[in-house]
Structure 1
Amino acid sequence: MHLIWTILIGFIAGLVARAITPGRGPSGFFLTAALGIGGALAATFIGQALRWYRPGQSAGFLGAVVGAVLLLVLYHLFNKKD
């Protein structure tokens, strides 16, 4: 059940991040869920490195959204169409 909950929260965080970030990004259920889950992992890793979170503690929903927005910004930086 924990895996299903993580995928659902990741999908919602990915949707929010896609709504906040301008431009076209990856679309589809699986890519949006992966974006949100990746954002949560990125926020957890960065938060633990900066000692905002204790070891073993993960970022919450807001951290997942911020991490997903960061991933989308990086995606847009490296995927420019000239």
Structure 2
Amino acid sequence: MGFLSWIIFGFIAGLLAKAVMPGKDPGGWVVTILIGIAGAFVGGFIGRSLGILNETTSFWSFADWIFAILGGFIVLWVWKRFFAK
């Protein structure tokens, strides 16, 4: 899957993470979405490292979506844990 796909996944993951993990975030919505994009890349890296994802999976692959969203949640949780006041 391509670079642009992971950005789209990350955008959606950031929105979902914000909806599921409400509260005051350092940086607001923009930072949350950027963290979601970073999380999608982290999720993609983890999925590829585990051998679950590969370059031939399509944009609509369920596994890609799951890893992108989980990566977004993980990175947002870490961000809130270490940078929230």
Per the shorter chain, which TM-score range?
A: 0.5 to 0.7
2:24 pairs with 1:24: yes
Q: Which amino acid aligns with 1:60?
A: D
1:6-57 per-position Cα deviation (integer Å, ceiling 9, x unaligned): 544432221101111243224234x343222211110111112222223x35
Check the 8 A contact 2:39/2:76 in 1, yes or no: no
Output the aligned Cα RMSD.
2.6
Alignment of 1:1-82 (within 5 A): 3=4, 7-25=7-25, 26-29=27-30, 31-54=31-54, 56=55, 60-81=64-85
Superposition deviation, residue 64 in structure 1: 1.5
Report the secondary structure of 1:28's partner residue.
Answer: helix
Check the 8 A contact 2:47/2:53 in 1, yes or no: yes
Superposition deviation, residue 70 in structure 1: 0.2
Task: Provide structure 2 residue ranges, at least 5 long, that are not aligned to the other structure.
Answer: 58-62
For the residues of structure 1 that align with 2:84 and 2:33, how far apart are their CA atoms?
Answer: 23
Check the 8 A contact 1:43/1:67 in 2, yes or no: yes
Check the 8 A contact 1:40/1:67 in 2, yes or no: yes
Q: Percent identity?
A: 35
Check the 8 A contact 1:7/1:33 in 2, yes or no: no
